Amino acid sequence: MTAPIKDYLKRSNGFQAAKWSEPVVMEMTGTGRRGVVFDDAPAPALPGKAGRKTAPALPELTEHDALRHYLHLSQMCLGMLGVSLFGTCTMKYNPRIGERAALEHLKDLHPLQDAESLQGILELYDNFSDFLCEVSGMYQFVFQAGGGADAAYTHACVTRAYHASRGELQQRDQIITTIQTHPCSPATANTAGFEVITLSLEENGYPSIEQLKSVVGPRTAALMVNNPDDMGIYNPDIKEWVKIVHEAGGLCFYDHANFNGVMSRLRARELGFDACMYMLHKTFGAPKGGGGPAVGAYGCAEHLVPFLPSPLVVKTGEGYVLDEDRPQSIGRVREFWGNAPQVLKAYAWARAMGAEGLREAADISVLSNNYMDHRLGQVKGVSRSNPGIDVPRMEMTRHSVEQVTQDTGCTIFEISNRMTDFGIDALWLSHEPWLVAEPFTPEAGELWSKDDIDYWIDVMEHVIGEAYADAEIVKTAPHNGPIKALTSALDDPAVWATTWRAYERKHLKKVAAE
């Protein structure tokens, strides 16, 4: 254990979240309270029975009531303010200037405006497509997909349209993937009507070329893979893979969910891939999750451009147009042309970084991961996937506390809960299927300092030490948060409520009746 956590534990009893007896905002109403008084809006021309018969029961609050309420909620939740090494998602810092830029430059725009009045944002889309083409070697990017899975589905649809245009769709009904590829690839391939062929991993961490050759053939429509995968392992034979699939007539799709470790180090097109996607909400600094929504930037080589979703932003001699007249297009995969604020934030981040910045970020990401891998290998009870692989992993490595669980009974879930007592965000474990018992997959990326990484590992080492000394303190965690460990109540649909209406039905009316 290093000095920082010793000092931290000596100075305090660990992280203590604020705890307020905060009602939900719908219960805070006070008749006549107002924050902002709006002018009466004209009656909307709603069709048929769409109009309300009674006014909605919205809470009446002052601006200060609302501000204090949400400040209390934020104090009870670390959010992304703790050290968060959330694997596979490259949880970057989202620069606040991106929010300001989106607010200032997009607040007066609407996607239904005439394209002539949208020249600025269309130019930005075109410029960002050019930037990503430079990074990937592809010919054209679109930003319509609502996330990584949506981009994978876009590719499955493009694959279908491409083979249909060649009269081979009935023949080519299989898409090949691997068991460690993101689950969205087999799921979207199946949703688009393809049979999914899943290859298993061998001792070196990736399927063999012989496995691939055994399934490739006249029925092959495409290959969809991550590289590196979520264990951080890069397939050194990927060029040969692409060649084998191409020789059989299939397309190759590169899921860049784990792009952070290879940014500016490789280009998908130069490896032979026909298409790829990036997650702007992760790799390129745009917010994810509650700060989202997401954007999946989908790019392809020239021979697949006719099948891209419509409308396509096209540069003409006089400016930019939204091209809808594209008879081979798969149509829309989402409304309009994608989430403009997210595209703007990601574009701003990419331009600020530049080519050298992306390369440096990739290098720091790989260096941080391999430093973590070395230190975690010295923690009692911690092992890693594919221990026989001695080449440096990319931006993440999958580890396991299986030995800790066998020795103490404490699972990785309980260890994660206990780590939140020290200001660590709950860690990420693994995608399905779980190939590693009691897994965890930290990813430092380029954001976190060596001190942050050391603190994160120190806390894990400390908690594992607690598990061996007094397992109950780990099993009953968290102890310093506003709520305790979740119970089996989440298994009972009569208890939980995800909407205010459900909460009213299940709880408030029940209380009133009593």
pLDDT of residue 18: 84
Structure tokens belonging to residue 465: 């030490």
pLDDT band at 468 (very low <50, low <70, confident <90, very high): very high
- Taking CA atoms, 99 is separated from 119, 287, 291, 341, in Å, by 21, 10, 10, 8
Tokens 């030995």 appear where? 403
Q: Give mean pLDDT, residues 103-111.
A: 88
pLDDT band at 320 (very low <50, low <70, confident <90, very high): very high
Q: Is the pLDDT of residue 331 over 90?
A: yes
Comparison of pLDDT for 417 and 11, the residue scoring more: 417
Quickly name the fold that domain 97-353 has.
Aspartate Aminotransferase; domain 2 (3.40.640)
Peptide bond into 293 cis (omega under 30): yes
Predicted TM-score (pTM) of this structure:
0.86
pLDDT of residue 10: 57
pLDDT of residue 335: 84
pLDDT of residue 29: 85
Comparison of pLDDT for 354 and 16, the residue scoring more: 354
Per-residue model confidence as pLDDT tens digits over 53-75: 888 888 899 999 999 999 998 88
User: Taking the domains of the chain in order of start, what are their residue ranges?
Assistant: 97-353, 354-476
Per-residue model confidence as pLDDT tens digits over 181-203: 988 999 999 999 999 999 999 98
- Give dist(CA 474, CA 18) in Å, integer: 21
pLDDT band at 480 (very low <50, low <70, confident <90, very high): confident
pLDDT band at 488 (very low <50, low <70, confident <90, very high): low
Q: Is the pLDDT of residue 108 over 50?
A: yes
Work out the burial of residue 133: count CB atoms within 10 Å of its CB; fewer than 13 is exposed, 13-18 middle, 19 or more buried. Answer: middle
Alpha carbon of residue 154 to chain centroid: 17
- Give dist(CA 462, CA 479) in Å, integer: 15
Q: Is the pLDDT of residue 104 over 60?
A: yes
pLDDT of residue 297: 95
220-226 and 312-316 as β-strands: parallel, antiparallel, unpaired?
unpaired
pLDDT band at 121 (very low <50, low <70, confident <90, very high): very high
Tokens 């299927």 appear where? 433
pLDDT band at 15 (very low <50, low <70, confident <90, very high): low
pLDDT band at 105 (very low <50, low <70, confident <90, very high): confident
Least confident of 296-310, 385-399, 407-421: 385-399
Work out the burial of residue 31: count CB atoms within 10 Å of its CB; fewer than 13 is exposed, 13-18 middle, 19 or more buried. Answer: exposed
pLDDT band at 175 (very low <50, low <70, confident <90, very high): very high
Q: Give mean pLDDT, residues 427-448.
A: 89
Least confident of 82-91, 196-205, 228-237: 82-91
Q: Give mean pLDDT, residues 462-469.
A: 96
Q: Is the pLDDT of residue 290 over 60?
A: no
pLDDT of residue 491: 80
Average pLDDT for the chain? 89
- Give dist(CA 394, CA 367) in Å, integer: 8
Q: Give mean pLDDT, residues 401-430.
A: 92
Choose from 44-48, 92-96, 419-423, 465-469 the range with maximum mean pLDDT: 465-469
- CB 358, CB 134: distance < 8 Å: no
User: What residue ranges in 392-452 does DSSP mark as E strands?
Assistant: 399-400, 439-440
Least confident of 37-41, 76-80, 177-181: 76-80
User: Nearest 5°: phi and psi at 399?
Assistant: -115, 175
Structure tokens belonging to residue 492: 């009972």
Q: Is the pLDDT of residue 495 over 60?
A: yes
CATH of domain 354-476: 3.90.1150.10
439-440 and 399-400 as β-strands: parallel, antiparallel, unpaired?
antiparallel
Q: Is the pLDDT of residue 81 over 90?
A: no
pLDDT band at 157 (very low <50, low <70, confident <90, very high): very high
Comparison of pLDDT for 52 and 449, the residue scoring more: 449
Q: Is the pLDDT of residue 267 over 80?
A: yes
Least confident of 45-54, 429-438, 455-464: 45-54
Percentage with pLDDT > 90 across the chain: 57
* Cα–Cα nearest to 305, from 274, 339, 277, 271: 274
pLDDT of residue 337: 87
Q: Is the pLDDT of residue 20 over 50?
A: yes
pLDDT of residue 313: 95
The SS3 call for residue 140 is strand
Q: Give mean pLDDT, residues 377-386.
A: 94
Least confident of 91-95, 239-243, 358-362, 413-417: 91-95
